């Protein structure tokens, strides 16, 4: 019914690890008859998968040019376009979009706007316009609950140094081992020091939580119920799990994709069921040269067949190029494949010959692996990956390659032993069994639809009344915004 239709604006963070699950949620909502305005920068929108034809009239992509600032290359519009230490410039440029997005949201007049942590100021913009806000996180509830109440994130005083993240914080009111390893959080600290935007990630998360009306997490209550309850307790707001958002194959594949899959499938078909290790660290994570050397020699030492999607550079300004050890590809020819471009990851993981996934534990990769019952061997880099890995480890769903707790160093022997343990040994059977056990939570489309239906039911019954004159007043004003709100808080 027309009066039941919602109009939802979405403003995801400029990272494909965020935009892709946001797009999956957009498609699920559009399938229910609602309208989506998906807002991002021109180059990012052009790189997103094409919308299925039956949803093209319901999902509208709106391109907002990213301001050019010193330190940000002209072609850099996503985190994957930049070395890790340059992502701070992307946040600074994003913060300059407050005024354009104010005008855009006023003209779109959506019922709800979904914001991401980096666009923490969207909530205050929306409130002034009479639009309600959902904090939608692609991070699991365990990470969001671990971070604590918004007052802790904004005012500080608890998470001051890396060591503070290595044990469950005081507000976690149930037994758990979920916490960061020192080397994981130290790597993250090293990346955010000297943030040129002037607003660090904890403060962004804090104001993001504080300014929204509803929190939605990529999660399901069967998987992490205690963390979802903690999240609601921490913030005193409704919290909705929206499911794991398993991706769907794009319905319109071009010929290049078909050619890539054809040659890949031919190689996979040569191997027995469950024997191949798939190695990939997502669109952003890049090993150091030392890490790459040990990982490669460990994969070689394991004796297992492998398909490795290798990323050696992040954007045109990345000068720290990495290379495989001399002779590695020649020595493993036939047993392994090194692929340096895009691959159809879903199709690879779905292939019967793949038995395990050496992954950074980015949650999209975890979801895709567990959809197809693939056992997880984990090698983390930074950000949310440490908490993801800790939760998977606690639940015996993933096995972490042993590393030095302080500096994260490891050996080729530990890589080889970890791969063989998870892939073939009796000791590692629990990880293979757990991956199979998780499949219903991560691949059931009916279960996923039920989570979205429940969420939409709330959004429909709590959508705001007509906004009218209040919007016009805000459209004519520029003396406000999330950064202004942050500045005011600091002065107080």
Reported as a single tens digit per residue, the pLDDT across 373-390 is 999 999 999 889 999 999
Q: What is the pLDDT of residues 211-247, one digit of tens each?
A: 999 999 999 999 999 999 999 999 999 999 999 999 9
- Measured distance CA(427)–CA(143) in Å, rounded: 29
For residue 483, the SS3 value is: helix
Tell me if domain 2-245+462-491 and domain 255-442 are identical in fold: yes
Please check whether residue 379 is in contact with residue 359, taking contact to mean a CB–CB distance below 8 angstroms. yes
User: What pLDDT score does 383 carry?
Assistant: 87
Which whole number is the average pLDDT over 116-122? 96
Query: Mean pLDDT, to the nearest integer, of 171-179?
Result: 97
What's the CATH code, domain 2-245+462-491?
Answer: 3.40.50.2000
Interatomic CA distance for residues 344 and 203, integer angstroms: 37
- Chain centroid to Cα 99, Å, comes to 26
Dihedral angle of Cα 113, 66, 89, 112, to the nearest 10 degrees: 0
- Residue 483 has what pLDDT? 31
Q: Which two tokens stand for residue 152?
A: 């802790």
Confidence of residue 44 (pLDDT cuts 50, 70, 90): very high
What is the torsional sign of CA 389, 393, 395, 397? positive
Contacts 24+ apart (CB under 8 A), 113-116: 113/8, 113/9, 113/10, 113/11, 114/8, 114/9, 114/10, 114/11, 114/12, 114/22, 114/216, 115/11, 115/208, 115/212, 116/11, 116/12, 116/13, 116/18, 116/22, 116/208
Average pLDDT over residues 97-111: 97
pLDDT > 70? residue 254: no
pLDDT at 341: 84
Q: In the predicted model, is pLDDT for residue 285 greater than 70?
A: yes
Q: How far is CA 7 from CA 22, 249, 463, in A?
A: 15, 25, 10
pTM for this structure? Answer: 0.90
| Main-chain dihedrals φ then ψ at residue 29, nearest 5 degrees | -70, -40
Average pLDDT of the chain to the nearest whole number? 90
Give the start-to-end residue ranges of the domains of the chain. Answer: 2-245+462-491, 255-442
3-state DSSP assignment of residue 318: coil
**Per-residue pLDDT at 195:** 74
**pLDDT per position as a tens digit, 46-98:** 999 999 999 999 999 999 999 999 999 989 999 999 988 889 999 999 999 99
Which pLDDT does position 249 carry in this prediction? 65
pLDDT at 414 over 60: yes
Question: Which of 74-78, 302-306, 472-476 has maximum average pLDDT?
Answer: 302-306
Question: What is the distance between the alpha carbons of residues 53 and 200, in angstroms, rounded to a whole number?
Answer: 40
Say if CB 476 and CB 145 are below 8 A apart: no
Task: Classify domain 255-442 at the CATH topology level.
Answer: Rossmann fold (3.40.50)
What does each C-alpha distance from 242 to 215, 434, 454 come to in angstroms? Answer: 10, 22, 8
63-72, 320-329, 459-468, range with the lowest pLDDT: 459-468
Determine the Cα–Cα distance for residues 36 and 30; give it in Å rounded to an integer.
7
3-state secondary structure of 7: strand
HEC sequence for 250-287? CCCCCHHHHHHHHHHHHHHHCCCCCCEEEEECCCCCCC
pLDDT digits (tens, 9 = 90+) for 441-462: 999 999 999 999 999 999 999 9
Name the more confident of 47 and 249. Answer: 47
């Amino acid at each position: 019914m027309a009066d039941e239709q919602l109009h939802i604006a979405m403003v995801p963070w400029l990272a494909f690890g965020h935009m892709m699950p946001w797009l999956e949620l957009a498609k699920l909502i559009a399938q229910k008859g609602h309208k989506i305005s998906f807002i991002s920068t021109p180059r990012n929108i052009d790189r997103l998968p094409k919308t299925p034809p039956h949803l093209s009239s319901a999902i509208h992509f709106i391109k907002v040019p990213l301001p050019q600032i010193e330190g940000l290359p002209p072609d850099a519009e996503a985190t994957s376009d930049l070395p890790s230490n340059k992502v701070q410039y992307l946040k600074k440029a994003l913060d300059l979009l407050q005024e354009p997005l104010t005008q855009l949201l006023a003209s779109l007049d959506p019922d709800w706007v979904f914001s991401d942590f980096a666009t923490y100021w969207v909530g205050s913009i929306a409130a002034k316009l009479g639009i309600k806000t959902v904090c939608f996180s692609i991070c699991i509830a365990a990470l969001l609950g671990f971070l604590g109440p918004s007052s802790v994130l904004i005012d500080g005083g608890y998470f001051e140094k890396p060591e503070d993240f290595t044990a469950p914080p005081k507000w976690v009111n149930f037994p758990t081992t979920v916490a960061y390893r020192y080397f994981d959080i130290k790597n993250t600290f090293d990346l955010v020091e000297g943030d040129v935007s002037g607003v660090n990630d904890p403060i962004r998360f804090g104001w993001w939580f504080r300014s929204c009306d509803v929190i939605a997490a990529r999660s399901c209550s069967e998987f992490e119920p205690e963390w979802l309850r903690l999240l609601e307790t921490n913030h005193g707001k409704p919290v909705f799990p929206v499911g794991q958002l398993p991706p769907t194959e794009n319905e319109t594949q071009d010929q290049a994709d078909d050619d890539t899959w054809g040659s890949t499938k031919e190689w996979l078909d040569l191997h027995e069921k469950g024997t191949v290790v798939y190695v990939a660290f997502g669109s952003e994570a890049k090993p150091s040269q030392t890490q790459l050397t040990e990982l490669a020699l460990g994969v070689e030492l394991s004796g297992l067949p492998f398909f490795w999607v290798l990323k050696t550079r992040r954007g045109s300004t990345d000068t720290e190029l990495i290379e495989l050890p001399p002779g590695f590809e020649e020595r493993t020819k036939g047993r392994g494949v090194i692929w340096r471009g895009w691959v159809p990851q879903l199709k690879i993981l779905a292939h019967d010959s793949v038995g395990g996934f050496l992954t950074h534990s980015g949650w999209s990769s975890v979801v895709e692996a567990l959809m197809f019952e693939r056992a997880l061997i984990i090698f983390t880099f930074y950000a949310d990956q440490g908490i993801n890995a800790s939760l998977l480890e606690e639940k015996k769903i993933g096995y972490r390659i042993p590393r030095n707790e302080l500096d994260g160093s490891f050996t080729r022997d530990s890589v080889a032993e970890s791969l063989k343990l998870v892939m073939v040994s009796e000791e590692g059977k629990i990880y293979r069994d757990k991956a199979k056990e998780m499949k219903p939570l991560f691949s059931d489309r009916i279960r996923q639809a039920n989570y979205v239906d429940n969420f939409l039911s709330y959004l429909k019954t709590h959508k705001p009344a007509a906004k009218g004159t209040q919007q016009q007043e805000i459209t004519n004003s520029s003396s406000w915004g999330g950064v202004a709100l942050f500045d005011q808080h600091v002065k107080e």
